[in-house]
Structure 1
Amino acid sequence: MLTAMAFPLAYAGPNVVLHKPRSEQTAVADKPVSGKVLSKEDNTPVPGVTVVVKGTTNGTTTDVDGKYQINVPESNAVLVFSAVGFATQEKPVGNESIMDIILSTDQKTLEEVVVVGYGTLKKRDLTGAVSQISATKLENENPQSVQDVLRGNIPGMNVGFSASAKGGGNVSVRGTNSLKAGTSPLVVLDGAIYYGGLEDINPNDIETVDVLKDASSAAVFGAKAASGVILVTTKKGKEGKTIINVNTNFGVAEVAKNQPVLSPDGFVTWRQEVMRNINTAAQPSRFTNPAQLPSDVTLEQWLAFDGSAGDPTTVWLQRLGMQPVEIQNYKNGKSVDWYSKMFQKALRQDHTVSLSGKTDKVSYYMSLGYLNNEGIVVGDKYSTVRARLNLEGKVNKFLSVGINTQFADRDESQVPVNYELAANLSPWGSEFNPDGTYKWRPNEEASGGNHPYFAPSFTDRDKGSVTINAVVFAKIALPFGISYQANFTPRYEYYHRYNAESARHAEWAAEGGRASRRDTRTMSWQIDNIFKWNKTLAEKHNIDATFLVNAEKFRMWDDSVSNKGFAPTDVLGYHNMAAGNAPIMWTNDEESTADALMGRLFYSFKDRYMVTLSTRRDGYSAFGQKNPRALFSSAALGWVFTDEPFFKSSWLSYGKFRVSYGSNGNRDIARYDALSNLITGKYLHINPGGTVYQTSQLYVGRMQNANLKWERTNSLNFGLDFSLFNNVVDGSVELYKSSTRDLLVERALPNVLGFDFVLDNLGQVDNKGLEISLNSNNMKRENFTWRSTLNFQMNRNKIVHLYGDKTVTKDASGNVVSEREADDITNRWFIGHAIDEIWNYKVLGVWQTEEADAAAKYGVKPGDHKILDVNNDGKYTNDDKVFQGFTSPRARITFRNEFRVIKNFDVSFMVYSYLGQKGEFNQMKNRQGFPDRSSSYIFPYWTAENRNNEWARLYSSEGSATGYSVYQSKSFVRFESLAVAYTIPKNLTQKINIQNLRVYGNIRNIGYLSSWSFWDPENGTNNSNNTNIATSVPSPRIFTMGLDITL
């Protein structure tokens, strides 16, 4: 019957499909078209070229050999060939079945679009200092944070290093420009200011990161941009069929470089030296092992040194200050390697699945990611679930609406062990009690020397946060090149930290256990109304104007309760806070508002001469009532001099000069710092009758300042962009100087006022620096390509003014000889010097045996450090302290290389170096502050028989140079990463319906070269002159293997 009805049958699994008969003209099957895409410049294959049938979503990409194959439905179809760096080309199919294509380099395409704040510009049109990094450039290296994306890749940016499971690190741009206010750059996410944590942004969602470094580029963000701006743009759907991507990887982290520690026997030998230096008047062999006595000392004489009797080994170890448990374990040969128990092989995993696509009506991108990392310190763990939805729909030809939403759920509940406690533990102590539980004090001292695992084993913690960040927007296209966009950006965060410390812990037992709960809810919103006008007149005049009206509000509710003395038991911990007998409740609610008006005008003539003008007026409720608002403006010029008719060069392909000047502000202070605050308390009152009772009190705790205002940074930037040898080499040079005035500092007040200080605008800090970025295409062959990037940066800062107080020098007659602005010795801030410049006593070396008499004048002995006495008065005062280096690097260099080898292999590695910085390393003083146990690390020390001129004797003396420090170079060269990826050939993957399959592996923090004597020289590096080595921690070396699958 079906045949009679002229419906042909087709069998497809269990279904019968009926096909309408096609005419002879329409029944022609899709025909395959194949070919190869080559580069015009060097005739080499171009991989990754998108090939699409025009007007459809039917498309493919070229493989590593530049080859493609695609089915086209009809002979009059047109194929569109497009690739980054090449001009798009269209070619009709006609009757051809093999089509080889030659693509030409497209200069305009090479000048990629850069995000500049409330808009975009071609790189060619930039007049300010802007750097960009594409996340796809680092995909083989598996960045797990925004900091990983930025580290070493942006000249002028310093990205700190974190050794924790959470990762990340502090970020700064072009040095430190404030003494007290925060100096972190502003973060803008998908066009809206972002106040969340960088850890909530999944690097797999990032398309590009642009960094605005000069005042002209950042001025559109006004009072928030003095420390630079980081603009993060996330992925959007792309035209073509729906793409499903899965990126999954597993890894392991280990301590990159172990710090040598004493062996059990080495610990005993070290104790002998310590005791000899403590008891210098004792007999030389008093602390010698009785089994190794010199020939002129008998065992009886040795015992008689202090009238001891009994087992000689016991006597000897007692003289060394060892506890009974240590003595027993020593005799039994039972020791503990504490450091092997502090660190672990840490497992890591990171998985992200995304779905994206775009039609003529809707663009969508959605992702879900899960990260779970262990740290190298036992007990350190971090996990997070991150999700994103970017959706935009075209309602009609002039209106589109959308939403960009980000969700993150972080868990930081684990309690890591305090590995620094291991330095005070003897290898002859006991790790466990007889019942198998952890021993509170393995050395059995009366105080100190706690087991690193003990407190965590009695601590129950629930810590984490949930954040939701969204940008809801609508875009309206108006006549005459005018457009309007409205953004509403709500953000919600819930943070909690619940902690319980069990009464089963010996130190907490007397309190009956302790518990606390803290809940913080944050709600904020912003509204941006953005008007734009973009117009080209007479094909020569390009105008791009932007106007912004902004309003924002922040609210926080912070509630905390703690209790102790839980009865009858504290087993429920923070789940039963009412069971304690000493409750303390604390609340803190905060609110702030802000608004802004901004205008920016960009104009270019013939794409050769550019000018950018901008101004922004900001208001913020945290500042004084007399200065709630401030105006920030900028101007910038650009000149593409290589486009001039008179300019002819065979080697300079492109050149542009830039100059900019402008001002930005810093509003990073607490929300009520300009106001007085009221503090409540209790005190005991005794009435005339002698009765004592508790009375409540309320008093003013801080002086208000109605004149408090923004810090203001004025910045001048000169830039040169260039491209050499037909775009083989390109780069930029930036030279800048900035001056930050009206610094937000705490000004000391006379005691008679009843306040210690008031926050005020005083002082000035200047910064200047140089940045160089070079990119080169070193080699491009059919089976081998090689690209390199070199970044260099240096920054110098100087304190120009502080509080305005004067230091007067008078002669013997009382006449004023000189007058200068006073320094702040307490904070070690000095006029004319850098914020991070070290000012302290200078260590010249170590007093040697033949210098005993000279050392005695300063109250020290041979083996103690020799300190410079500037005025040779035989004593040490502040007059003897000198400037001797800096704690921040004087220069930073990054060298990155990328290779494509044998078509399908991608290899990259990065090396970076910090040069010229010093760190405080007081272990070189060998002052055992805890005489019985101080350090299990192997460090050199001076003896009369084994001299050196750097390390002091054990248990050395400071003499009158109290508080001096020893500084070591922290310069280093770090082999940061090595990544290898292999892309499976498409002729194999397409058989299983996989568009792209890439296998990758990488190593991060391979190793470093440095003369620094402790853990990683980059960890603990900061701008403080009081760096403590306890903040310097071991760093992880991370091995990762993963798959990137595109369906």
Structure 2
Amino acid sequence: MKYKVLPKRIITIVFLLAFSFMAYAGNSSKPKAEPDSRLWFTIANNADIIITGKVTDEKTKSPIPGVSVKLKDSQVVTVTDENGVYKIAVPNEQAVLSFSYIGYDVQEKAVGSLKNINIVLKSSQSDLDEVVVVGYGTQKKADVTGSVVRANLDDFRNAPTTNVANLLQGTVPGLNVGQVNRAGATPSISIRGQNTLGGNQNALIILDGVQYLGSLTSINPDDIASIDVLKDASATAVYGAQAANGVILITSKKGSIGQTKISFSTQFATQKPNIDLKPMARDEYLDHVKYLYYDQAFLAPDFTRPNPAFDLVSKVDASMKDAQGNLLPNDFSWFDEATRTGSIIDNQLSVSGGSEKVTYLLSGSLTKNSGFIKNDLFKRKTIRANIESKATNWLTIGLQSFGTFTNEDGVEPNFADINLMSPLILPWDNNGNYKINPFATNLVNPFLNYQANDYDRHNYFFANVYANVQLPVKGLSYKISFGNNYRLDLKNISNMYDANLTGQASKENTTYYDYTFDNLLTYNKTIGKHSFTATLLYGASERESSYTRAYSTGFSRLTLGYDNLQQGTNRFAISNAWKEALNYQMIRLNYNYESKYLFTGTIRRDGFSGFAENNKYGVFPSLSVGWDISKESFFKVNWVDNLKLRVGYGVAGNQTSRYSSLAAVGVGASYVFGDGGSTQLGQQVNSLPNPDLRWERTTGANLGLEFSILKNRLSGVVEYYNTKTTDLLYSVNIPVITGFNNILTNIGQLNNKGVEISLNSKNINSGGFQWNSTLSFSRNTNKIVKLLGDLNGDGIEDDLPQSGLFIGQPTAVIYDYQVNGIYQIGEKIPTGYSPGTYRIVDQNGDGVINASDRAILGSSAPAYRLSLLNNFQYKNFTLSVFFNAIQGGSKSYLAGNTPRVIRDDNAIRNNYLSGIDFWSPDNPNGKYPRSFVSATLNPPLFQNRSFVRLQDVSLSYKFSGKLIEKMKLQNLNLFVSGRNLATWTNWEGWDPETNQGLTNDGRPVFKGYAVGLNVTF
């Protein structure tokens, strides 16, 4: 039931020591590259073996001319031609070739029996020349002044998962991605903590330049080329009001100029719970009932000696006895019957290529994820077409589109009900039919869900059409894009056991559509050493949705199920719809002097239909500067390769939900005319309008330092940020004499700050063996500075304890009663409590336990997050190992985790998770309460959720040589991988990261193993 335990004190030490070793391990000397100016030639004699091949760049896949190809320990050298092709003679199969080129890592390859050796070189320079997406454009990473990070996808693409968000978990400092425990589910996503109380808390997702409000489940992970994360206000300002919680930019793959490339990949993965946690079996269950009656099952005064006269059978619920009053002989596992080994089957196919005029990528995929609980099913089909055409020398047009069709048919049994079913009871009667009420109570058999006829489909359609026009003015271009999202959700279901066993059938559909229309004008100008880029944007977006449901109850039969609703006795129909619109303008100026002095200034204006008449628009400015110190003539530190300082300051917004500033009108029963008259419907105002409702404003400063040292052996980024959110959107309680309970308004101030560190080290690169590491660290804290002001007139800012909000405390504060052990037999116990209930600390010492004894106990937010990725390469083998950790210290990352049993009919009847350390007279140090009566107050026991997880492991082998030549393949790669393989924590229950403890209604996180194949023709 418990995870492996890792002592808390050594967690940080282990990471730091491991990283320190990796940063300096291995041979620090870098092999010198041969001169690249030699003419191409071949030295051979009759005994020589001729080796040919091609050298390409790892990222661009393009050939590299001028690469030095040397026969190790000799003077035999050649260089690649303009197509990256080389030819060299070697004396025997024991020869080793060395490939070197300025800016790339040296690679060595043993010849063996190979006649053709193709090499992919990796850049040895820092990634400063990498182009990242920054919103409405791209920039060289060296020129970026905001906090922009490109996620590492390559080391995680083999992970057994169906959602691209799972690949991001723990990989980017400040990007917080949760776990999932359902087939095809999307995890929670946040960036740099909480900036709001009642506003939108979701990160903004931009897919190929278009805001994407669909589920990330709809995006095929294999179609994604890159993911860039914008974290600070200066980087997110280009998206203005929608960017207060950070931005995730997803860019799909495109075709490239060259011969047609056909890629196919397949993967099979298993999924099991990462912890062995099940309900009690027969013997433990009966023992549990006995201890609920410890006052009768054991002898006074200490109730530790068994009572021979105790009759356990008489205490067991009647549903678990036969006609003669004997216990049923069953030891049935409802858990095993409801679960299975889950699996993922994933197949991907893509065709790409192009010419100077047209490039294309076509792809399709089939994915099936069968979850751990039966009928937890997710199937996905995707098809994508990305096409770009250079129609003329001044016009480029393109299409980025996909369709996704998901199938989630079937209703799983209620997992909480599965866990509370007694092992003495079977789900079937003597005729093999499901029992309706196994306990002879209102609790129905959870397996009756299997009888549902369920049709649950979600269809997603995305298309972005764009044109890029090079205007007659040099450096001036105009881009117009029209992005469309359409979603159709169909949910049809019928079951004879629904609607209190009278039968129910329903059909419901939801349609959603949005468009984004952007006009982008970009001007690039270089004057000597000065470079300018100006960007002007005008855009608009509209969203609308419609929902309809028709359903019937009271069926004598359900022959046609949901396709014959008129058979139901009671028929109903409901519908609703909504629409909202946005309008925005933006201007951005980038200045660059020799990539040494950098400046970015942005102003964005947003309008949203959901805001009040007096505040439809908000203006959000930002500016940031960068200074590459290492390029200064006075900077003469030889071991420092790059040192760049950047500072950013900006304002982002947060918008309210639609219609929230308006008076909402509802329809309900209002009048009765005359004696015996029927009730008439009328309209009533349900909420007050607020014509002065304003945008939230998050003002933030960001300080970043980028560096690389020791010939790029160690590089990294250190960032500090501090933000302030004012005009917080919050629903404030008002006097009921107004006729209303609350009104949405702007209040208070919330501060948010943190630090993020990312370190990359090249530990060893020698003898064909490479070892690289990445360490990520982030810490975030927030604090409420203001709320409603001084309500009592005492000069002190007032808290809102009923809402869990306190001045000077974080939003995730825990305000509750403090537990101090369990009352024991023979102890003086106050009225309202009994042995086996929690002892509550009397905080004010008045001898009475009441609401005044609540205290701030800590926070549910983490203290810090930490991850470590190690990547090893030897010859054709690649191994990556990724650890992820979240730590809370002594008073952070806490959560209530309190299984509690109180003797009543349900407690005697219901089952519970096995191995729980309940209190009993003979187990006085038991951790969790078990008592005769419910205490006056039953506070939770707050426990630390800190953990270290071996999250991802992948081992791959890339085939080369004769096999590849004979099959005429460009690539053949075989891999095995694992996910969530081990977790070290003191948390008890399903999983610390999902905040699910020892509770019947929790769900396990999956541990998975996968095997797969990638092949390119």
TM range (shorter): 0.7 to 0.9
- Tell me the CA shift for residue 106 of structure 1: 6.9
Residue 461 of structure 1: aligned partner: 454
Q: CA deviation at 1:108?
A: 7.5
Quote how far apart the aligned CAs of 1:843 are. 0.5
Matched-pair contact (CA < 8 Å) for 1:615–1:633:
yes
Q: Which of 831, 838, 847 is residue 807 of structure 2 equivalent to?
A: 831
CA distance in 1, matches of 2:182, 2:457: 16
Contact 1:926 1:951 in 2 (8 A): no
Matched, 1:258 2:255: no
C-alpha spacing 1:537/1:255, structure 2 compared with 1 (3 Å): same
> Is the CA contact 2:479–2:520 (under 8 Å) kept in the aligned structure 1?
yes
Q: What is the CA RMSD across the aligned residues, in angstroms?
A: 3.3
**Secondary structure at 2:366 match in 1:** strand
Between the aligned partners of 1:526 and 1:85, the Cα distance in structure 2 is 44
Q: Larger C-alpha radius of gyration, 1 or 2?
A: 1
Matched, 1:1009 2:984: yes
Paired letter, 1:876: I
Deviation at 1:318, TM superposition (A): 1.7
Structural mapping, 1:670-709, within 5 Å: 670-682=657-669, 685=672, 687=674, 690-709=675-694
CA distance in 2, matches of 1:63, 1:883: 68
* Inter-partner Cα distance in structure 2 for 1:680 and 1:64: 85
Structure 2 residue 532 is matched with structure 1 residue 543: yes
Q: SS at the partner of 2:599? A: strand
Relative to structure 1, the CA distance from residue 252 to residue 109 in structure 2 (aligned partners, 3 Å threshold; closer, same or farther) is: closer
| Whole-angstrom distance in 1 between the partners of 2:559 and 2:876 | 59
Compared CA separation, residues 328 and 424, structure 1 to 2 (3 A): farther
Q: How much does 1:878 deviate?
A: 2.3
Alignment of 1:379-418 (within 5 A): 379-418=375-414
Aligned amino acid, residue 1010 of structure 1: T
Contact 2:422 2:910 (C-alpha < 8 Å) held by counterparts: no
Q: How far did residue 122 of structure 1 move?
A: 0.9
Deviation at 1:941, TM superposition (A): 2.0
Cα distance change, pair 684–597 in 1 and its aligned pair in 2 (3 A): closer
What does 1:651-800 align with in structure 2 at a 5 Å threshold? 651-667=639-655, 669-682=656-669, 685=672, 687=674, 690-800=675-785
Distance 2:726 2:100 in 1: 48
Q: In the TM superposition, what is the alpha-carbon distance from 1:351 to its structure 2 partner?
A: 0.9
Please, which moves more after superposition, 627-636 or 159-168? 159-168
Match of 2:917 among 922, 935, 940: 940
For residue 907 of structure 1, the aligned residue among 873, 879, 889 is 879
Are 1:447 and 2:442 an aligned pair?
A: yes
Match for residue 487 of structure 1?
481
Contact 2:731–2:744 under 8 Å retained in 1: yes
Equivalent residue number for residue 515 of structure 2:
525
Please say if residues 160 and 344 of structure 2, whose CA atoms lie closer than 8 Å, have aligned partners that are also in contact: no
Confirm or deny: 8 A CA contact 1:501 1:508 kept in the other structure. no
Aligned residue number for residue 259 of structure 2: 241
1:692 counterpart SS class: coil
| 1:182-581 → structure 2 map (5 Å cutoff) | 182-276=200-294, 302=309, 316-325=312-321, 331=327, 333-442=329-438, 444-448=439-443, 450-454=444-448, 456-478=449-471, 479-502=473-496, 504=497, 508-509=500-501, 512-538=502-528, 540-566=529-555, 569-581=557-569
8 Å CA contact 2:197–2:728 kept in 1: the answer is yes
Query: 1:100 and 1:943 mapped to 2: Cα distance?
Result: 70
Does structure 2 conserve the Cα–Cα contact (< 8 Å) formed by 1:143 and 1:203?
no
Tell me, in whole angstroms, the C-alpha distance in 2 between the residues paired with 1:407 and 1:524.
Answer: 15
Question: Contact 1:215–1:662 at 8 Å: present in 2 too?
Answer: yes
Note the C-alpha offset of 1:283: 6.6
| Equivalent position SS for 1:762 | strand
Judge which range, 976-985 or 191-200, deviates more: 191-200
Distance 1:320 1:941, change over 3 A: same
Change (3 A) 1:683 1:101: closer
- Counterpart selection for 1:971 from 916, 926, 946: 946
Instruction: State the distance in 1 between where 2:758 and 2:678 align.
Output: 71
Asked whether the 8 Å contact 1:928–1:934 carries over to 2, the reply is no
Shift of 1:709: 2.1
Per-residue deviation, 1:34: 4.9
Which has the bigger relative contact order, CA under 8 A and spacing at least 6?
A: 2
977-986 vs 946-955, greater mean Cα deviation? 946-955
| Structure 2 counterpart of 1:848 | 824
8 Å CA contact retained: 2:133, 2:228: yes
C-alpha distance in 1, partners of 2:949/2:322? 41
Q: By how many angstroms is 1:37 displaced?
A: 8.4
Provide Cα deviations, 1:407-450, integer angstroms capped at 9, x if missing partner. Answer: 111111221111211332211112211111222232x33333x3
In structure 2, the residue matched to 1:877 is 850
Q: Is the 8 A contact 1:135 1:206 kept in 2?
A: no
**Residue identity in the other structure for 2:493:** N
**1:597 — aligned with what?**
585
Q: In the superposition, relative to structure 1, how do residues 99 and 175 fare at CA in structure 2: closer, same or farther (>3 Å)?
A: closer
User: How far is 1:830 from its partner?
Assistant: 1.3
Contact map agreement 1:399 1:477 (CA 8 A) in 2: yes
User: Structure 1 residues 929, 240: closer, same or farther in 2, change over 3 A?
Assistant: farther
Structure 1 residues 63, 176: closer, same or farther in 2, change over 3 A? farther
Q: Deviations over 1:951-997 (max 9, x none)?
A: 333446423xx242211111111110111111111421220122111
Q: Tell me the residue number matched to 1:1038.
A: 1008
Given that 1:350 and 1:370 are in contact with CA atoms closer than 8 Å, whether structure 2 keeps it comes out as: yes
User: Equivalent residue of 2:930, what SS?
Assistant: coil
CA distance 1:946–1:327, shift in 2 (3 Å): farther
Does residue 1:859 correspond to 2:832, yes or no?
A: yes
Residues in 1 aligned to 2:597 and 2:512: alpha-carbon distance in whole angstroms = 46
SS in 2 for 1:777: strand
1:868, 1:880 within 8 Å by CA — same for their partners in 2?
yes
Helix, strand or coil at the partner of 2:570: coil
1:275 is displaced (CA, Å) by 2.0
Q: Report SS of the residue matched to 1:378.
A: coil
* Aligned equivalents of 1:413, 1:518: Cα separation in 2: 14
Shift in CA distance, 1029/177, structure 1 to aligned 2, threshold 3 Å: farther
Q: In structure 1, how many angstroms separate the alpha carbons of the residues matched to 2:380 and 2:231?
A: 31
Gaps of at least 5 residues in structure 1 are 1-31, 39-44, 66-71, 90-96, 304-314, 809-817, 1022-1026
Q: State the one-letter code of the partner of 1:416.
A: E
- Please list the CA deviations of residues 338-378 of structure 1 after superposition, one character each: whole Å capped at 9, or x if unmatched: 22223210121111100111211011111101111011112
**2:654 and 2:767 mapped to 1: Cα distance?**
52
| Counterpart among 123, 138, 142 of residue 120 in structure 1 | 138
Q: State the SS of the aligned residue for 1:819.
A: coil
Larger mean CA deviation between 598-607 and 492-501 belongs to 492-501
Q: In the alignment, what sits opposite 1:4?
A: none
Which residue matches 1:887? 860
The answer as to whether partners of 1:80 and 1:88 remain within 8 angstroms in 2 is no
Take 1:36 and 1:673, find their aligned partners in 2: how far apart are those partners? 65
Q: Secondary structure at the match of 1:523?
A: strand
| Counterpart amino acid of residue 114 in structure 1 | V
After superposition, what is the alpha-carbon deviation per residue over 1:493-514, rounded to whole angstroms, capped at 9, x for unaligned?
Answer: 1112122231x56x633xx422
Query: Post-superposition shift, 1:730?
Result: 0.7
Q: Is the 8 A contact 1:684 1:692 kept in 2?
A: no
Tell me how far apart the structure 1 counterparts of residues 260 and 752 of structure 2 sit (CA, whole Å): 49
> What letter is aligned with 1:832?
G
Residue in 2 that maps onto 1:11? none
- Call closer, same or farther: CA 1:587–1:551 in 2, change over 3 Å: same
The alignment's TM-score, normalised by the length of structure 1, stands at 0.84
Residues in 1 aligned to 2:729 and 2:679: alpha-carbon distance in whole angstroms: 39
